[in-house]
Structure 1
Amino acid sequence: MKPTTSHWGAFSAEVDAEGRLRVEPHPADPAPSPLLGNLGAALDHPTRVARPAVRRGWLENGPGPDDRRGRDEFVEVPWDDVLDRLAAELDRVRTGHGNQAIFGGSYGWASAGRFHHAQSQLHRFLNTIGGFTASRNSYSNGTSSVLLPHVVGDTHAVLRQASTWPTIAEHTELIVAFGGVPEKNVFVTPGGVTVHGTPGHLTRFGGRVALISPLRDDVPSTVDARWYPIRPATDTALMLALAHTLVAEGLHDRGFLDRYCVGYPEFERSLLDKDPEWAAGITGIPAADIVALAREMAAHRTLVTVTWSLQRTEFGEQPVWAGIALAAMLGQIGLPGGGFGHGYGSMGDVGDTGPELRIPHLPQGVNPVGEFIPVARIADLLLHPGESYDYDGEVRRYPDTRLVYWAGGNPFHHHQDLNRLRRAFTRPDTVVVHEPHWTATARHADIVLPATTALEREDLGSGRRDTHVVAMHRIASPAGEARDDYAIFAALAARLGVSGAFTEGRSARQWLEHLYRGWRSEPAFDEFWAAGGLRLPPGREHHTLFADFRADPDAHPLKTPSGRIEITSATVAGFGYPDCPGHPVWLAPTETGPLRLIANQPHTRLHSQLDAGDTSRAGKVAGRERIRLNPADAAARGITTGDVVRVFNNRGACLAGAVLDDALRPGVAQLPTGAWFDPVEDHAGGPLCAHGNPNVLTADIPSSRLSQGCAGQHAAVDVERFDGPLPEVRALRSPIPPQVDRPATVPR
């Protein structure tokens, strides 16, 4: 068995005599992730991209917009031929249209390895040939990343230096969990988690939890929680009513608000008509329960937490900002176990006690191109070149994109309104994808280059706040003709005359040794590699967010204009955005429907990764993604567990397998993201995904003009039993028939 790691945990593995992958979790891990069960599909699943492939229309007609992307067949082409063609196309675009016409898309989740990090590899390569249009922020918390600097001055502190779980366990009496603390997400951190400590912390927490979520299982069943089954997207209204009660009963901490905050009086004036009776009609939470909860919060050491999911909605800034304001009114920010938290249960490293160290990584260089887009505006970029948009006080324009280069990401998982994204992908001249598997993004590309998986190469692995750095040994030989991203880019760099700048004369193994030795001298690299990794020095077990600021706000001011918590931000108010004014407000969702769909993270995979794996497939119903329905909603539609249903709205539809569960409040459906998009072409009833991808239903709109963040957590839908002929699920098979002979050179 050889050591390696993944975004969901470290493990050892080997391929046995019968070609099967055997996996053993890291011996130090008290709670190994069930996602390890998906790894077998990484090596030899039929969806592996075996050889370089080029879309026939691009091969025969050359670059240009083409509505056949995603529908055309592929032709396998020898490596030298496809690399020559791609190098020529990169040169054509950068010389004829400028480097801003190249969009360097990559979301960075392809590998836990720090050298073979696809995003770093792609960006380093593009920077050596003159740069590219980049993306900024993330789908996960892109709204908060823009808002938090205006309110508390620092995104990093809130997201990466949260109060630790031992501090919470010792001091917190009440966690008010807006969005819950869903255990399924804590197994994952970019770069990996060697020791999964959060599940144990949740189990051992001795205080009480107020679970504010439409889903009762958004905290583990072992936790003492009272469920407040709120209507989706109404958390801000509840927060404002809680704040109203604190003011009405004199329970707010006026001294804290005066010393540590600015803009509170304006916010308080806005609360005059936001009483519990008002909120009860919006949220579905009885007014008496709201009053009782506010009193309990004021009487105990209380941690107000907001999951990242709440900011992935229309007006997603508001619950985060209102949560901070509510915590400030309690006066406990900076006290051990009190205050505000953002992301507990959203990622494995939030509240972790591991060390916060910079680990070895591949330098990306400097991008000479200043153009960028907020990451969730990719379809707008392609559909509306030259158009202006607002972003964080600026007016920007979308550049004219001619070439999209994607490595290590799958926008047909992360993005919303996939039928609109399909139209957007018809617009560039060329779309290039590096992929181990035939994902929907690969199927909508012009050039698909087979990339190795993390199991097929060597690397250094470690996550944020991880306890270990893992020597990632190669477990298996590359499938087919797959190559590392580094080898692909090195070959392109040689063709474009920048080989020295990209490789610096090093092989992949030499890069690993170079990065390690630049990070530390002991133990020596060879010793580290033979040992399989090393344990890092322990981090701070007890830490409280904003403790220094509370101790002396003048000596340790926040990085806001005032140096204080800005409950009202003059800067944001000055932008004049009606969808994000200068302090927290209630803004009702603009879209309503019979059911509110929650498109949250799956518990059977990471995003869409390894959807063909055993664990992922075992969670499906009738071969489709499962949708959970409240029994009352199902009965009204004649649906029973196991039925295939059609989930639909005016943007599209998908098929899913029904599961009835009273852990959802009535009026709510839950369909996790990540089923590989599988469009049924020319379906008589309109656009249809046969596999159950909810992003055919979500709206491609920004959270607000401030952040332009992802708003894909919710959608208004209806559901009906599907009694017609079931279309085949084709997403989990290759679009190219098996071939015995290597493809011949294709004439130019």
Structure 2
Amino acid sequence: MNLRPSTSHWGAFSAGLEADGRVRVEPHPEDPAPAPLLGNLTGSLRHPTRIAAPAIRRGWLERGPGPDPARGHEEFVEVGWDEALDRLAAEFRRIRDEHGNHAIFGGSYGWASAGRFHHAQGQLHRFLNAFGGFTSSRNTYSYGTSAVVLPHVVGSSAEVLRNGSSWPTIVENTDLLVAFGGVPEKNVFITPGGVTRHHTPGFLARLGERGVDVALVSPLRADIPAAVHPRWYPIRPATDTALLLALAHTLVTEGLHDRAFLDRYCTGYEEFERYLLGAGDGVPKDAAWASAITELPAADIVALARRMAAARTFITVTWSLQRIEHGEQPVWAAIALAAMLGQIGLPGGGFGHGYGSMGDTGDIGPDFRGPHLSQGINPVQEFIPVARIADMLLDPGGSYDYDGTVRTYPDIRLVHWAGGNPFHHHQDLNRLRTAFSRPDTVVVQEPYWTASARQADFVLPATVPLEREDFGSGRRDTHLVAMHQVAEPFAQARDDHAILAGLAARLGIEERFTEGRSPRAWLAHLYESWRKRLLDKGISVPSFVDFWTAGELRLPGADEYRTLFADFRSDPVRNPLPTPSGRIEITSRRVRSFGYPDCPGHPAWLEPSEWLGGPRAERFPLLLIANQPETRLHSQLDGGAVSQAGKVAGREAIRLHPEDARARGIADGDVVRVFNDRGACLAGAVLSTRLRTGVVQLPTGAWFDPVDSLCIHGNPNVLTADLPASRLSQGCTGQHVLVEIERYDRTPPPVTIGAPPRIEKVRRRCREHGAGSVPGT
């Protein structure tokens, strides 16, 4: 069998076709820790949920565009490509002429492919910009809260998230690693754009071998590998800020904080210290106070603070901690605590954000961007924070706060999505279903009949990466990988570029979009332009032809030993931070000036509505953690072998402590109903002592399969609240939700998401809008 090179967000590999059409996958030979997720590719090309032909919702064909509560409930009618694109081009013109380009929302929250040319979001945005622009989204569900608050505190989010201290520096210099949210190994296999050598599992093993003291602060014991031998602090979820404040309080009252560092490198510490001591509210944020909130012994909190002050200490906070109400606070408080220890900028000391949240955090590969497609310039200035989609669709003209500004939601009439699944990553999916009924037209480009495709009016079948040519390279990847075509496109599927080029031709912007190049010509052009930029820097790489023939290029350079803010520490005058003061802003006058009660000017304990210490817990006494899945990337390839092997009774697995299960009459393997006042889902029970009592864990990404307000497949986002982290960031809060669980004693309905929806195949072109316009078969 001729295996051809390719890559994915979870690893580089070679692939070929078996006689039965299944994919044979072999990891890259240089990968020391290949991702198990490669196993999801084996049956992906001919999966039953592949979209075979363009399809239009029957109601849109019969009644025309407009808000429609039937969206997501009606059958689809297959049409030819010409009809689909002709009708869609006419709708684009109508929307632009009647409402303006700002009425078009190009969501397309990425992740569809590691390929840098066939990047669905980039292709769509390039097309929409050529058409005159669109309303866009800003930030991410992953770290949207941190992306807003970090520039106020340290001047940049990118510096922290992309250039943090490297794992070799941590392994060789850190004495005590305090991991808030742990370092979940399941997440380190993922890097946007691809990854050839997974280094992080090896570095985690070296932490254990070296005997580094590790404090795991998490309600989940699995949030760090067992080989690291951590001391587990099973904190009550959503209370990390209280613990961080108490650790800081101990440093102050015992004189263990570094006043010289605070005076030279920070601003606003005095105000924060007064808050710690309770000068304003009469409540000292001491260990006893935090113990009542976190349910950790006060003596353990004091002892941990002393250990931190006596050792080279590295504090890391996962992205999960900022995906909750007031998610700015644990990130900001961790920076303040690290500043009080005075070790920021020292090898093995200071703080980090996202270790265990993404594979490239702390990685050692080279740091330069590979070849990529320009999206052009968007003439439309409208945007929303990414997690405010439902608010935008439900409240056109409504106002909201964002990072010191007051903005207005645009009136969206057309939603175009390519290569993403909002019915995976958004919260309160029943509310999102209502929101998706409001636009005039919803378009989805997808290889599979995902929940988002089923909520669309136009469904355009796209190829998967193995059915086209591309190249991929992730952030800090060691290789640029040529992604050779392994299989012919499924049925009538076209790549995203071809779909949009056909639409662009009908709208008179084909030349602007394609520049007269085929996909192969684009690959050569992008590569050779990148090669020239490298040559200008004195870096020589082979020609495109030689690269493509070889199948990969080992990228030059590496950044093995890196310490965050080392230059700033060495000379804060010559290397100031890009904050108003040039220093670390433990108190930000700018944030304080916004007057947001849910995000004051310094780190603070703000009680969330979804936590075990609040009144809502009396009705829903279990805290569900909706974290990233171990068996897939988000919702991608949920039908794959690895993902399916993790199901229980055909549903997503929910983990709960045996004591919580016993109190509810639940046994291992039972189908259970997880519910609150927003919705409910069915899941398969797995009993485990590797999480604290009162906490259950149900990962995101099971394909949404609704029966009324019940997801029968186990998607936790039917339960989560569609509320922002704060008025500052408007970030996602989908990590935590209060629920109750009961055994499902009835015969559970069969999961239907593994098969296509109702589709009527037609043999001739449909007439224009109007009742009875859909011909029979």
TM-score range normalised by the length of the shorter chain: over 0.9
The Cα of 1:589 is off from its aligned counterpart by 1.3
Deviations 1:422-441 (A, max 9, x none): 00000000000000000000
Q: Does 1:613 align with 2:640?
A: yes
Structure 1 residues 665-676: aligned runs within 5 Å: 665-676=692-703
The Cα of 1:538 is off from its aligned counterpart by 2.8
Report the counterpart of residue 219 of structure 1 in structure 2.
224
Q: Is the 8 A contact 1:405 1:431 kept in 2?
A: yes
Give SS of 1:604's match. coil
The Cα of 1:324 is off from its aligned counterpart by 0.2
For 2:571 and 2:464, locate their aligned partners in 1 and report how far apart those are by CA, in whole Å.
Answer: 49
Give SS of 2:390's match. helix
For 1:240 and 1:66, locate their aligned partners in 2 and report how far apart those are by CA, in whole Å.
Answer: 50
Give SS of 1:431's match. strand
Which one of 376, 398, 408 corresponds to residue 419 of structure 2? 408
TM-score between both structures, scaled by the size of structure 2: 0.95
Q: Does 1:632 align with 2:659?
A: yes
Q: Is the 8 A contact 2:444 2:458 kept in 1?
A: yes
Which one of 259, 269, 275 corresponds to residue 270 of structure 1? 275
Q: Is the 8 A contact 2:107 2:415 kept in 1?
A: yes
Could you tell me which amino acid in structure 2 is paired with residue 5 of structure 1?
T
Q: Does 1:697 align with 2:713?
A: no
Q: Does 1:432 align with 2:443?
A: yes
Report the counterpart of residue 255 of structure 2 in structure 1.
250
Q: Is the 8 A contact 2:75 2:760 kept in 1?
A: no
Report the counterpart of residue 131 of structure 2 in structure 1.
129
The Cα of 1:744 is off from its aligned counterpart by 2.5
Report the counterpart of residue 641 of structure 1 in structure 2.
668
Q: Does 1:747 align with 2:767?
A: yes
Q: Is the 8 A contact 2:367 2:558 kept in 1?
A: yes
The Cα of 1:724 is off from its aligned counterpart by 1.3
Gaps of 5+ in 1: 682-686
Q: Does 1:57 align with 2:59?
A: yes
Structure 1 residues 537-548: aligned runs within 5 Å: 537-548=556-567
The Cα of 1:212 is off from its aligned counterpart by 0.1
Report the counterpart of residue 155 of structure 1 in structure 2.
157
Report the counterpart of residue 737 of structure 2 in structure 1.
715
Which one of 469, 477, 483 corresponds to residue 488 of structure 2? 477
For 1:738 and 1:201, locate their aligned partners in 2 and report how far apart those are by CA, in whole Å.
Answer: 54
Could you tell me which amino acid in structure 1 is paired with residue 732 of structure 2?
C
Which one of 543, 566, 576 corresponds to residue 557 of structure 1? 576
Q: Is the 8 A contact 1:151 1:567 kept in 2?
A: yes
Give SS of 1:17's match. coil
Report the counterpart of residue 684 of structure 1 in structure 2.
none
Report the counterpart of residue 662 of structure 1 in structure 2.
689
The Cα of 1:236 is off from its aligned counterpart by 0.1
Structure 1 residues 313-462: aligned runs within 5 Å: 313-462=324-473
Give SS of 2:501's match. helix
Cα 1:458–1:261 shift into 2, 3 Å: same
For 1:177 and 1:718, locate their aligned partners in 2 and report how far apart those are by CA, in whole Å.
Answer: 29
Q: Is the 8 A contact 2:106 2:135 kept in 1?
A: yes
Structure 1 residues 468-547: aligned runs within 5 Å: 468-520=479-531, 522-547=541-566
For 1:698 and 1:196, locate their aligned partners in 2 and report how far apart those are by CA, in whole Å.
Answer: 32
Could you tell me which amino acid in structure 1 is paired with residue 468 of structure 2?
R
For 1:715 and 1:210, locate their aligned partners in 2 and report how far apart those are by CA, in whole Å.
Answer: 25
Q: Is the 8 A contact 2:22 2:45 kept in 1?
A: no
Could you tell me which amino acid in structure 1 is paired with residue 34 of structure 2?
P
Could you tell me which amino acid in structure 2 is paired with residue 249 of structure 1?
E
For 1:702 and 1:34, locate their aligned partners in 2 and report how far apart those are by CA, in whole Å.
Answer: 34
The Cα of 1:224 is off from its aligned counterpart by 2.0
Cα 1:457–1:442 shift into 2, 3 Å: same
Cα 1:359–1:45 shift into 2, 3 Å: same
Report the counterpart of residue 195 of structure 1 in structure 2.
197
Could you tell me which amino acid in structure 2 is paired with residue 87 of structure 1?
A
Report the counterpart of residue 15 of structure 1 in structure 2.
17
Deviations 1:138-192 (A, max 9, x none): 0000000000000000111100001000001110011100000000000001001
For 2:747 and 2:436, locate their aligned partners in 1 and report how far apart those are by CA, in whole Å.
Answer: 30
In the alignment of these two chains, the number of paired residues is 741
Q: Is the 8 A contact 2:178 2:314 kept in 1?
A: yes
For 1:475 and 1:172, locate their aligned partners in 2 and report how far apart those are by CA, in whole Å.
Answer: 45
Structure 1 residues 86-235: aligned runs within 5 Å: 86-205=88-207, 206=210, 207-235=212-240
The Cα of 1:737 is off from its aligned counterpart by 5.5
For 2:324 and 2:763, locate their aligned partners in 1 and report how far apart those are by CA, in whole Å.
Answer: 47
Q: Is the 8 A contact 2:403 2:729 kept in 1?
A: yes
The Cα of 1:362 is off from its aligned counterpart by 0.6
For 1:214 and 1:672, locate their aligned partners in 2 and report how far apart those are by CA, in whole Å.
Answer: 15
Give SS of 1:84's match. helix
Q: Which moved further from structure 2: 193-202 or 725-734?
A: 725-734
Q: Is the 8 A contact 2:77 2:759 kept in 1?
A: no
Q: Does 1:727 align with 2:749?
A: yes
The Cα of 1:732 is off from its aligned counterpart by 1.2
For 1:346 and 1:533, locate their aligned partners in 2 and report how far apart those are by CA, in whole Å.
Answer: 27
Deviations 1:345-394 (A, max 9, x none): 00000000101111111100000000000000000010000000000000
Could you tell me which amino acid in structure 1 is paired with residue 230 of structure 2?
A
Q: Is the 8 A contact 2:78 2:760 kept in 1?
A: no
The Cα of 1:16 is off from its aligned counterpart by 1.6
TM-score between both structures, scaled by the size of structure 1: 0.98
The Cα of 1:746 is off from its aligned counterpart by 1.5
Structure 1 residues 60-71: aligned runs within 5 Å: 60-71=62-73
Could you tell me which amino acid in structure 1 is paired with residue 565 of structure 2?
F
Q: Does 1:288 align with 2:307?
A: no
Report the counterpart of residue 30 of structure 1 in structure 2.
32
Q: Is the 8 A contact 1:490 1:502 kept in 2?
A: yes
Which one of 609, 612, 621 corresponds to residue 590 of structure 1? 609
Q: Which moved further from structure 2: 533-542 or 613-622?
A: 533-542
Could you tell me which amino acid in structure 2 is paired with residue 746 of structure 1?
C
Report the counterpart of residue 774 of structure 2 in structure 1.
none
Q: CA RMSD in A?
A: 0.8
For 1:312 and 1:353, locate their aligned partners in 2 and report how far apart those are by CA, in whole Å.
Answer: 27
- Percent of matched pairs sharing the same residue: 72
For 2:262 and 2:665, locate their aligned partners in 1 and report how far apart those are by CA, in whole Å.
Answer: 53
Give SS of 2:741's match. strand
Q: Which moved further from structure 2: 447-456 or 38-47?
A: 38-47
For 1:41 and 1:427, locate their aligned partners in 2 and report how far apart those are by CA, in whole Å.
Answer: 36
For 2:250 and 2:464, locate their aligned partners in 1 and report how far apart those are by CA, in whole Å.
Answer: 54
Report the counterpart of residue 538 of structure 2 in structure 1.
none
Deviations 1:604-647 (A, max 9, x none): 00000000000000000000000000111000000010000000
The Cα of 1:738 is off from its aligned counterpart by 9.0
Report the counterpart of residue 628 of structure 2 in structure 1.
601
Which one of 698, 704, 717 corresponds to residue 677 of structure 1? 704
Shift >6 Å, 4+ stretches: none
For 2:367 and 2:26, locate their aligned partners in 1 and report how far apart those are by CA, in whole Å.
Answer: 27
Deviations 1:191-245 (A, max 9, x none): 0110000000001112111000000010001002000000000000000000000
Q: Is the 8 A contact 2:21 2:46 kept in 1?
A: no
Give SS of 2:706's match. coil
Give SS of 1:610's match. coil
Give SS of 2:177's match. strand
Give SS of 1:222's match. helix
Q: Is the 8 A contact 1:41 1:610 kept in 2?
A: no
